[in-house]
A and B are shown apart, each in its own frame.
Chain A
Amino acid sequence: MKRITIEPVTRIEGHAKITIQLDDAGKVAGTQFQVTQIRGFEKFTEGRPFYEMPGITSRICGICPISHQLASAKASDAIMSVRIPKAAKLLREVIHCAQFVQSHALSFFYLSAPDLLLGMNADPQTRNFAGLIEADPELARAGLELRKFGLQVIETLAEERVHASWIVPGGVKAPLSAQNRDRILAGIPEVLATTERVIALFKNKLESFTEEIENFGSFPTMYAALVDGAGDLQFYDGPIRFRDALGGIIQGGIVSEDYSEFIGEASLRDSYLKAPYYRPAGYPDGVYRVGPLARINVAEGCGTPKADAELQEYRRRFGRIPHSAFLYHYARLIEILYALERMANLLARPEALDTHVRASAGVNSLEGVGVIEAPRGTLIHHYKVDENGAIVWANLIVATGHNNLAIGRSVRQVSEHFVHGEHLEEGMLNRVSAVVRAYDPCLSCSTHALGMPLVTVSLVGPDGELLDEIS
């Protein structure tokens, strides 16, 4: 038995390690996906006032802080037992859409485009965003522009790009001015056009990735996501819907307070990331996926014209419920279209400028759950407080956690298909990392931790001797 280690996996948001075991014939005998850091937010927030939670849990992740602020604020709204003002709900959804744009742009352009545009086998020295700037400056600029647009909207509303304090229990801190609304609206057509150009380019590239599409985590699982009243894509609020691998709806509308009846968590021997599972199916059979692929599979449609047109084409090509994790990239681009269109739609409503944006109340319930769709999938914050509002217990289930079991299986599938023999090629192993990138795992979110990327790949013989190494 020989062992290959990829540690850490690069160009992902966090710190993970992959081990591939080869048998004597050089075939893949087993794989292991490990998340190697832990921070402990669920424990060290005990004793903090609940209204501090959006600010503290924002620091779980600098990439999608808005997601944690929103889930936390929704759990806090429940503790206060308030229905937040219409304008507050609308503005929270607008900032959430902006975050989708910037976070998806980071994943697609900065982390995965080097594989997709420069090639899986490209020189690792230049297979990165700087290399992309050299090779395809226009595409790199599109990425910069999209990410910047999302962050500028966040800055316009919340005054800070990272860890702002505008989203608060009961609503948001300040209303939107007409001038700022108009400025955001004026910018949308250009970034929509940019997104459409990028999608066209991506589709042209798809044919060269047929083998990856077939073997990148392509296996049937259940899917979970929030949907709106019509069953369409929804990021901010709605019941959780589960579909089975054939597309049948197995749970139509789980309300947030009931999540724990359907979602359990298992601890793993060799990873700091726990593995959630669909309870009625048990562990480990209850594998399901979340995030862009899951949302697109779970929803009937997007509910906005450009995104729906693209979704139709996607379904014509790949079917109603495609299972390949490679298609996370495509789904992510469709969601950027949706987020931009949805933002424009929301901002055009008169209540966008309403100055009633915050409800105030004390502790009226000793428990609260907040569920949203974060860019990487369903995010759950669940708090219990005492009469004074101090946290006595907290549970956080983050997007990447839900995908933990599926990522592990995807690593296995890609390894079995692409990694052969005793002679390693860097491109083989980059594909193993690339399937992890397709999920866009936010391991800083999931273990509430981060690490640094460093790849040493070594092939070790049965007695521990070094047979081959790529460095």
Chain B
Amino acid sequence: MRKLKLATVWLDGCSGCHMSLLDLDAGLIPVLRKVDIVYGPLVDAQEFPEEVDITLVEGAVSSQEDADRIHEIRQRTKLLVSLGDCAVTANVAGMRNTIPVTKLLQRIYVDGADESKRIPADSLPRLLKLARPAQDFVKIDVCIPGCPPQSRTIAAFLNNLLDGRKPDANAKIKFG
């Protein structure tokens, strides 16, 4: 049987959802027999590949670069999964949304600096006005909420999928 191509993506999140994925511990080994991780923070992939079977997205869409990427990822992915509350609702990433971006940057890089007070701008991605969930930009096939989702929720989802069953992420969801 062909191994499935799995990609994992970090946008504006804390990596906690990726840690929860790694928390499968030794359970990762049988998963890795059935999938190739073709892209993600743990591998040296150079570019988001064409024709990925499953992509897990952690984090909200917060910069123009994130927005460009989520569109490209959607085009190249069969099953796109929002993993965790930041991808599903913007969650903590969205806590900045009541504050104008310039005020935010001013506070950190001008008021919050002792030397060279200036807002960094050279060849850096521009922040969007709002950090928003991935589903505001592209169609999402499955949402797995949680901050982070428990590893057994992720395991149940992946194993269902790898065994050819329809993904049922609702079975073992814990909010909060």
Contacts and interface: CB of A to CB of B under 8 A. Distances in A.
Contacts of A283: 114-116
A124 B148 CA distance: 29
Contact of A452 (B69, B115, B151): B69
A226 to B, nearest CB: 22
A161 B151 CA distance: 9
B20 A161 contact: yes
Nearest to A47: B98
Contacts of B116: 266-269, 283
Contact of A274 (B46, B98, B113, B124): B113
Contact of A151 (B23, B29, B58, B91): B23
B15 A62 contact: yes
B110 A267 contact: yes
B44 A267 contact: no
B18 interface: yes
A232 interface: no
Contacts of A39: 12, 62, 93, 96
A11 B13 CA distance: 16
Interface stretch (B35-43, B132-140, B161-169): B35-43
A60 B117 CA distance: 24
A453 B32 CA distance: 20
A265 B109 CA distance: 9
Nearest to B59: A450
Nearest to B15: A62
Nearest to B119: A267
B118 interface: yes
B154 to A, nearest CB: 12
Interface stretch (A128-136, A306-314, A341-349): A128-136
B45 A453 contact: yes
Interface residues of B, number: 69
A269 B118 contact: yes
B14 A10 contact: no
Contacts of A129: 42
Contacts of B26: 141, 144, 148
Contacts of B69: 452
B47 A269 contact: no
Give chain B's interface secondary structure class: mixed
Q: What interface size band does chain A fall in?
A: 35 or more
Contacts of A128: 37, 42-44
Contacts of A456: 46-47
Given A124-B46, A266-B114, A450 B12 contact: yes
B16 A268 contact: no
A364 to B, nearest CB: 26
B109 A267 contact: yes
B99 to A, nearest CB: 6
Interface stretch (A30-38, A74-82, A234-242, A293-301): A30-38
A269 B16 contact: no
Given A267-B110, A453-B41, A15 B10 contact: yes
A444 B65 contact: no
A452 B20 contact: no
A247 interface: no
B173 interface: no
A272 interface: yes
Contact of B47 (A11, A106, A267, A454): A454
A425 B176 CA distance: 46
20 contacts: A10-B44, A39-B62, A40-B96, A40-B104, A59-B147, A61-B14, A63-B19, A127-B44, A130-B37, A144-B28, A162-B23, A265-B112, A265-B114, A266-B116, A267-B118, A267-B120, A444-B14, A451-B10, A452-B69, A454-B45
Given A44-B104, A450-B14, 16 more contacts: A10-B43, A11-B42, A43-B107, A44-B98, A62-B13, A106-B22, A130-B32, A147-B25, A162-B19, A264-B115, A265-B112, A271-B124, A274-B112, A274-B113, A279-B114, A471-B47
Interface of A: 10-15, 34, 36-40, 42-45, 56, 59-63, 65, 106, 110-111, 124-125, 127-130, 133, 141, 144, 147-148, 151, 161-163, 264-272, 274, 277, 279, 283, 395, 430, 444, 449-457, 470-471
Interface of B: 9-20, 22-23, 25-26, 28-29, 32, 36-37, 39-48, 58-59, 62-63, 65, 69, 91-93, 95-96, 98-99, 103-105, 107-110, 112-125, 127, 147-148, 151
